[in-house]
Amino acid sequence: MQPSSYVGIEQIQRTGQAQQLDRLLNEIAEHKGCGTSSDGGKASCGSSDGPADMAPEVWEKVKNHPCYSEEAHHHYARMHVAVAPACNIQCNYCNRKYDCANESRPGVVSEKLTPEQAAKKVLAVASTIPQMTVLGIAGPGDPLANPDKTFKTFELISKTAPDIKLCLSTNGLALPDHVDTIANFNVDHVTITVNMVDPEVGQHIYPWIYYKKKRWTGIDAAKILTERQMQGLEMLTARGILSKINSVMIPGINDQHLVEVNRAVKSRGAFLHNIMPLISAPEHGTVFGLNGQRGPTAQELKALQDACEGEMNMMRHCRQCRADAVGLLGEDRSAEFTTDKIDAMEVVYDADTRKAYQELVEQERQATVAAKEAEKSELAKLADAEGISLLIAVATKGQGKVNEHFGHASEFQIYEVDAKGSKFVGHRRVDLYCQGGYGEEDSLETVIRAINDCHAVFVAKIGGCPKDDLKKAGIDPVDKYAHQHIEQSVIAYFMDYVGRVRAGEITHQSRGDADIRQGAFIAA
């Protein structure tokens, strides 16, 4: 079955370009993405005018990037190609034989591509999925430890498809050497993984680095790494290239320290900080997996993100997806684009369809801004809403709607709502509760654990059994907002909830903590 909003590759081969465009336009007209809803014409998604604390020129660059803009990830897709297998440092949360769940890169056992294969794959995907606006290189190793392969790929793509934005993720060790090349390729986003700014902390995260033809260990290694990272970041900022910082939160090692990291990177011009939970299990074969280092709980992670939020923009929707993933965030279509299939494909880069689609999305996004304002005034009527704040888990397939069956959800988006409004604060991955039509008891428990800090879960549909169990666990299963817009529904639920509390029908209670699912994210 194809995800709803675009056509699959087989269909394209059957229909041909003109019909494809018609069909796309129809589909867009039908579901309207995050735009107006059928009933009241209210909007639901984030504003198109950009966050208040972001400079307009920065917003202009990031608004269509699914990783950087919470709103864009409803409409636009990115892909990663695995052309860079070598790495120049070792992290304790990574075993390069396998997929790394922390740094969004596949293991070296995954499909490796030459720059030529990678370029062809990108063009094939971009022609099939007009939302594909971003190409990233993030691994399997470090892109800048493989500068020839990385830059060759960029060169090939920028020639044929200049409208695709290029970005790369690096550990930063080699960054200062390549900033000029990065600038020449018009790369406007670089992600640096910064887990520490203090070598005392760093020595517990990095056993060694390979630098200037030598292997360095301990404090020396961490000292060189942090100096190079900060130097690289400053150089990017000086050239107007956007930098996002990724940090892996490792309880007991760098959790407190990340507040300091946040200050250090902000003062050097980073525009976004993404704190991700350590993902660690013995079967990953990593140092942290084997020595039992635990990852943070959902509330620990949220508390740290909240602590840093006053300082700068936090990115909450990162799913730590694999570096060879294709698709809208949270959905992976890479199986359609394996090397065999690509080799057999005739690729015609279709710039016009892409442009048409992207223009439509733009109009739709503009339309949401005014409606969003109306919603705010609605909420203002609630005054302080008794100081109540709720977390709500939402089962969604995208387009900003409550449109997933509880049993089919491989993740829940979490919204926080209070009298000031609703905001997206993260997502929780779960194992599918329902496999082949019947639910399994064990996985229901893990779902409950993953959303245990939420007051309600919004679904398109839910069976009787899980419904009762959720109620027993104190989570309100709600299907009355099926196929409606998320933020609107969240606000409606909240107003109703506050009303019931005021009428004395229910008493408001805060909820406990929740688990973070371990393991790399490969969307089903």
Partner 1 sequence: MAYKIVASQCTGCSACEPECPNQAIFEKNGVFVIDPKKCTECIGYFDDAQCVAACPVDKTCIIDTGYPRYQAA
Residues that bind partner 1 (CB under 8 A): 85-88, 90, 96-97, 108-109, 112, 140-141, 145-146, 210, 213-215
The single-letter code of the amino acid at 372 is K
Report the partner that residue 318 touches, choosing among ligand SF4, partner 1, none (CB closer than 5 to 8 A by kind).
ligand SF4
Terminal C-alpha separation, the chain: 12
- Least separation in angstroms between CB 37 and partner 1: 49
Question: Pick from 162, 156, 159, 78: which is nearest to 117 by CA?
Answer: 156
Report the partner that residue 215 touches, choosing among ligand SF4, partner 1, none (CB closer than 5 to 8 A by kind).
partner 1
- Least separation in angstroms between CB 194 and partner 1: 21
CA-to-CA distance for 331 and 8, rounded, in angstroms?
A: 13
- Least separation in angstroms between CB 334 and partner 1: 20
- Least separation in angstroms between CB 261 and partner 1: 25
Measured in degrees and rounded to the nearest 5, phi and psi for residue 123 equal: -65, -40
- Least separation in angstroms between CB 103 and ligand SF4: 8
Nearer to partner 1, 208 or 349 (CB): 208
Is there a contact between 312 and 325 (Cβ–Cβ < 8 Å)? Answer: no
DSSP character string of 409-439: -SEEEEEEEETTEEEEEEEEE---SEETTEE
Cα-Cα-Cα-Cα dihedral of 116, 118, 121, 126, to 10°?
Answer: -110
Nearer to ligand SF4, 154 or 521 (CB): 521
Nearer to ligand SF4, 97 or 355 (CB): 97
Report the partner that residue 214 touches, choosing among partner 1, ligand SF4, none (CB closer than 5 to 8 A by kind).
partner 1
CA-to-CA distance for 316 and 413, rounded, in angstroms?
A: 10
| DSSP code of residue 407 | G
Grouping H, G, I as helix, E, B as strand and the rest as coil, residue 317 is coil
Is there a contact between 502 and 380 (Cβ–Cβ < 8 Å)? Answer: no
Sheet hosting strand 456-458, strand order edge to edge: 421-429, 411-418, 390-394, 456-458, 476-478
Report the partner that residue 129 touches, choosing among ligand SF4, partner 1, none (CB closer than 5 to 8 A by kind).
none
Nearer to partner 1, 75 or 149 (CB): 149
Nearer to ligand SF4, 108 or 307 (CB): 108
Nearer to ligand SF4, 221 or 279 (CB): 279
Report the partner that residue 321 touches, choosing among partner 1, ligand SF4, none (CB closer than 5 to 8 A by kind).
ligand SF4
Report the partner that residue 67 touches, choosing among ligand SF4, partner 1, none (CB closer than 5 to 8 A by kind).
ligand SF4
- CA atoms 343, 132, 170, 315: torsion sign: negative
Cβ atoms within 10 Å of 468's Cβ, excluding its own: 11
- Least separation in angstroms between CB 140 and partner 1: 7
- Least separation in angstroms between CB 521 and ligand SF4: 8
The single-letter code of the amino acid at 317 is H
- Least separation in angstroms between CB 285 and partner 1: 11
Which tokens sit at 306?
A: 């909240």
415 has which bridge partners?
A: 392, 424
The residue number whose beta carbon is nearest to ligand SF4 equals: 67
- Least separation in angstroms between CB 149 and partner 1: 9
Which tokens sit at 192?
A: 């640096």
Nearer to ligand SF4, 105 or 302 (CB): 105
Grouping H, G, I as helix, E, B as strand and the rest as coil, residue 247 is strand
Nearer to partner 1, 79 or 100 (CB): 100
50 has which bridge partners?
A: none
- CA atoms 316, 319, 322, 328: torsion sign: negative
- Least separation in angstroms between CB 85 and partner 1: 5
Report the partner that residue 113 touches, choosing among partner 1, ligand SF4, none (CB closer than 5 to 8 A by kind).
none
Report the partner that residue 319 touches, choosing among ligand SF4, partner 1, none (CB closer than 5 to 8 A by kind).
ligand SF4
Nearer to partner 1, 159 or 213 (CB): 213
Is there a contact between 494 and 375 (Cβ–Cβ < 8 Å)? Answer: no
- Least separation in angstroms between CB 195 and partner 1: 18
Report the partner that residue 109 touches, choosing among ligand SF4, partner 1, none (CB closer than 5 to 8 A by kind).
partner 1
Is there a contact between 115 and 166 (Cβ–Cβ < 8 Å)? Answer: no
Report the partner that residue 185 touches, choosing among ligand SF4, partner 1, none (CB closer than 5 to 8 A by kind).
none
Is there a contact between 249 and 277 (Cβ–Cβ < 8 Å)? Answer: yes
Report the partner that residue 102 touches, choosing among ligand SF4, partner 1, none (CB closer than 5 to 8 A by kind).
none
Q: Dmax over Cα atoms in the chain, in whole Å?
A: 72
- Least separation in angstroms between CB 146 and partner 1: 7
Nearer to ligand SF4, 28 or 409 (CB): 409
The single-letter code of the amino acid at 164 is I
Question: Pick from 185, 84, 64, 178: which is nearest to 130 by CA?
Answer: 64
Cβ atoms within 10 Å of 324's Cβ, excluding its own: 27
Nearer to partner 1, 146 or 396 (CB): 146
The contact set with ligand SF4 (CB under 6 A) reads 67, 78, 104, 318-321, 329
CA-to-CA distance for 147 and 164, rounded, in angstroms?
A: 20
Nearer to ligand SF4, 136 or 439 (CB): 136
Report the partner that residue 78 touches, choosing among partner 1, ligand SF4, none (CB closer than 5 to 8 A by kind).
ligand SF4
